[in-house]
Structure 1
Amino acid sequence: MKVITFAVPCYNSEAYMEHCIHTLLTGGDEVEILLIDDGSTDRTGEIADEYQRRYPSIVRAIHQENGGHGEGVNTGLRNAVGVYYKVVDSDDWADTESLKEVVETLRRLIAQGRGPDLFICNYVYEHAEDNSEHAVRYTNVLPQDRIFTWEDIGRFRPSQYLLMHSVFYRTQLLRDCGLVLPKHTFYVDNIFVYQPLPWVKTMYYMDLDFYRYFIGRSDQSVNEQVMVRRVDQQVRVTRIMIDSHDLREVALKAGNRLARYMFSYLCMMMVISSIFLTISGTPESLGKKTELWEYLRTKDSALYHHMKYRSIGLVAHLPGYGGRKASVSLYRVARKIYKFN
């Protein structure tokens, strides 16, 4: 039995993918590593094939036409045989000691028939520019080392949302909820985490700094200048998230705590999209900001008013030129404090 499938979408990753692969290989034969070559033009595909040759019981190389990160995740999910599914970007890596503990714990829970729908660990920002680390942990929010439900969770801080880096979803749950990420679109990791949440009934959290998230490449999707250039893709992802769930229905079916968390997550996405449209500063971008909020209003006017006027959404709506400048300044202060890109 493969406990975890690690999907590693790779696009022109020859310079750093081997470090990622070597950390995942420490999981041994209980893990599956899918190296998804997304139409690379360098040696990425050759490297993937070489690892499949050397570790045929663990590694599979999959080659596809370029479809973007989301299609890499989709391909991995279609091919995964592990009970759990974890995406690891090719420039990131896993803490090897934590990986052994995760595999052992999941194996035990599966054998007991108690495998959770969602397994959670911490992640660590690895900042290349100053060689510093910043860990995101959930010890103040989630019970540790036991099965729990949404009724047992606390309040997440704005810097503490569940990201792709922190989650291991049960593979069949992702298939059952119909998760398919859009092609040729960045920032789809937010859809990956957000859309399946109402299907999650049981969770398990370990206070382990499992995922190491590298920050520092100039072409990285979370670089501020890159995010401004790709702001239309950020907006597209946010719209998909708006469409994916009626939060009132979520509250009725899964409880207020999950609905509250999803509201906060969606609100943060609205603010991020608004801030980067503001940073862009063109009349067209400011018009797109208005259109995005109007899109939310047409979908759910009550949600729109609560999000815009009674929550963190206020940050994106400070009036006038001075207000827009203040909004961007607040974002940059938060980025400096929390070092999230």
Structure 2
Amino acid sequence: MSEKLLSICVAAYNSEQYIEKMLGSVLNASSIDDIEIVVVNDGSSDNTAGIIKRYVNMYPDIIVGINQDNKGSGGAWNNAFKNATGKYIKTIDSDDMVNTENLDLYVARLRSIDSDMIINPHYTEYTYKKKSILTNNLGIAEGEYNIAAFLPYEDISMHDVTYRNSPDILGQLEFMEHVSYGDMEYLTIPIKNIKSIYYVDIPVYIYKIGIEGQSISPLISIKKNDQRIAIANKIINYRNINRHSNDAYKWVNNQVVRMLKCVVLDYCNSGSYAYKNDIKKYDLLIKDMDQDLYKIMNEDKIIRLLRITDYNYYYCIILAKKIKNAIF
């Protein structure tokens, strides 16, 4: 296999309905000779392994297929990253895809970039609405920046980030196995090693919302709150024992706070009056875990009102949503 510019790493579990469309969106790029696809079958029980094998046989110079026992997306990404050989590395979920034409433009831009990290917008596709919107178009000029320039943009996601594939950047990134929300590890663990970030105004990733079983749905996310806490604890401990610049420290805090606030919003979007005590317990757990994060979260109006009212404001939120749904 010739040297590649970009390694696209894919964690696949029971993805027989989606993975061919995802692979096709990459393989149809005219820049495919510069791309390597490393796809890990994470112990699927459907025909995902068979589909991957067929594509490896069809594209042996492009696709690296790996089978492993089930370890969750984190374990699959660990395996993919260890086998990726491209100059740059990016992840794609097996039920998402890329904009093929924009991928070509992006690869062309990568040829002239030599930064540690690249940030670019993505598309969010709401499958149930059949609607796609541009997400995280930062409105800044293309070019190279430092971390401080991106601190105001707290919603930057895994879909927006590409890293230089170097031990100096990714050497300490080891995803937790059997845990969701590894995107937070991806966004935070390497950041202390980042010296340059290039912003490219080309949306590539198409993130699909509304697929059955996604961990993003509120009721599923609530069941995985312990996983979010585990991820947060890991990141905080890593932040505390490894020297970070002030800007890298702020970046880590912003990302962890964003994840923790999502838990509160999931409770508020559940449609159930039953979770008031759960929110209170969760919030006090954050306070015990890290005082700085607890204080930062208080800047959010909803969380501040919840705390001021001993979390009784939660009932107002649920009632307002029920009235809105009844009217509209």
Residue 63 of structure 1 aligns with which residue? 67
How far is the alpha carbon of 1:290 from its aligned partner? 1.8
1:84 pairs, out of 85, 88, 94, with 88
CA contact 1:125–1:212 (8 Å) conserved in 2: yes
| Aligned residue identity for 2:141 | P
2:295 pairs, out of 281, 306, 314, with 306
CA contact 1:277–1:289 (8 Å) conserved in 2: no
CA contact 2:73–2:179 (8 Å) conserved in 1: yes
Can you list the C-alpha shifts for 1:9-45, whole angstroms capped at 9, x where unaligned? 1001001100100111124121110111000011100
CA contact 2:87–2:164 (8 Å) conserved in 1: yes
Normalised by the length of structure 1, the TM-score is: 0.83
Residue 14 of structure 1 aligns with which residue? 16
Separation (CA, whole Å) in 1 of partners of 2:241 and 2:304: 20
Separation (CA, whole Å) in 1 of partners of 2:178 and 2:289: 22
Separation (CA, whole Å) in 2 of partners of 1:120 and 1:259: 19
Separation (CA, whole Å) in 2 of partners of 1:316 and 1:73: 37
Can you list the C-alpha shifts for 1:283-306, whole angstroms capped at 9, x where unaligned? 566434422321113xxxxx1563
CA contact 2:151–2:251 (8 Å) conserved in 1: no
Residue 104 of structure 2 aligns with which residue? 100
How far is the alpha carbon of 1:129 from its aligned partner? 1.0
| Aligned residue identity for 1:262 | V
Normalised by the length of structure 2, the TM-score is: 0.86
96-105 or 66-75, which moves further after superposition? Answer: 96-105
Please list every run of 5 or more consecutive structure 1 residues that lacks an aligned counterpart in the other structure. 110-114, 298-302, 337-341
Separation (CA, whole Å) in 2 of partners of 1:196 and 1:213: 23
Separation (CA, whole Å) in 1 of partners of 2:300 and 2:180: 26
Distance 1:318 1:206, change over 3 A: same
| Aligned residue identity for 1:57 | D
How far is the alpha carbon of 1:190 from its aligned partner? 1.3
CA contact 2:151–2:250 (8 Å) conserved in 1: no
19-28 or 303-312, which moves further after superposition? Answer: 303-312
2:144 pairs, out of 128, 143, 147, with 147
Residue 112 of structure 1 aligns with which residue? none
Q: How does 1:126-205 map to 2 (within 5 A)?
A: 126-140=125-139, 142-144=140-142, 146-153=143-150, 155-156=152-153, 161-173=155-167, 176-205=170-199
| Aligned residue identity for 1:218 | E
How far is the alpha carbon of 1:265 from its aligned partner? 2.3
Can you list the C-alpha shifts for 1:293-322, whole angstroms capped at 9, x where unaligned? 21113xxxxx15632544565365342353
How far is the alpha carbon of 1:162 from its aligned partner? 1.6
CA contact 2:305–2:311 (8 Å) conserved in 1: no
How far is the alpha carbon of 1:139 from its aligned partner? 2.9
How far is the alpha carbon of 1:169 from its aligned partner? 0.7
How far is the alpha carbon of 1:237 from its aligned partner? 1.6
How far is the alpha carbon of 1:153 from its aligned partner? 4.1
Does 1:39 find its partner at 2:43?
yes
Please list every run of 5 or more consecutive structure 2 residues that lacks an aligned counterpart in the other structure. none
CA contact 1:3–1:107 (8 Å) conserved in 2: yes
Q: How does 1:210-225 map to 2 (within 5 A)?
A: 210-225=204-219
**What value does the CA root-mean-square deviation take over the aligned residues?**
2.8
Distance 1:277 1:98, change over 3 A: same
| Aligned residue identity for 1:7 | C
Count of residues paired in the alignment? 314
| Aligned residue identity for 1:306 | K
Separation (CA, whole Å) in 2 of partners of 1:311 and 1:321: 14
Separation (CA, whole Å) in 2 of partners of 1:204 and 1:28: 22
Distance 1:314 1:321, change over 3 A: closer
Residue 323 of structure 1 aligns with which residue? 313
- Percent identity reads 23
Residue 252 of structure 2 aligns with which residue? 262
How far is the alpha carbon of 1:191 from its aligned partner? 1.3
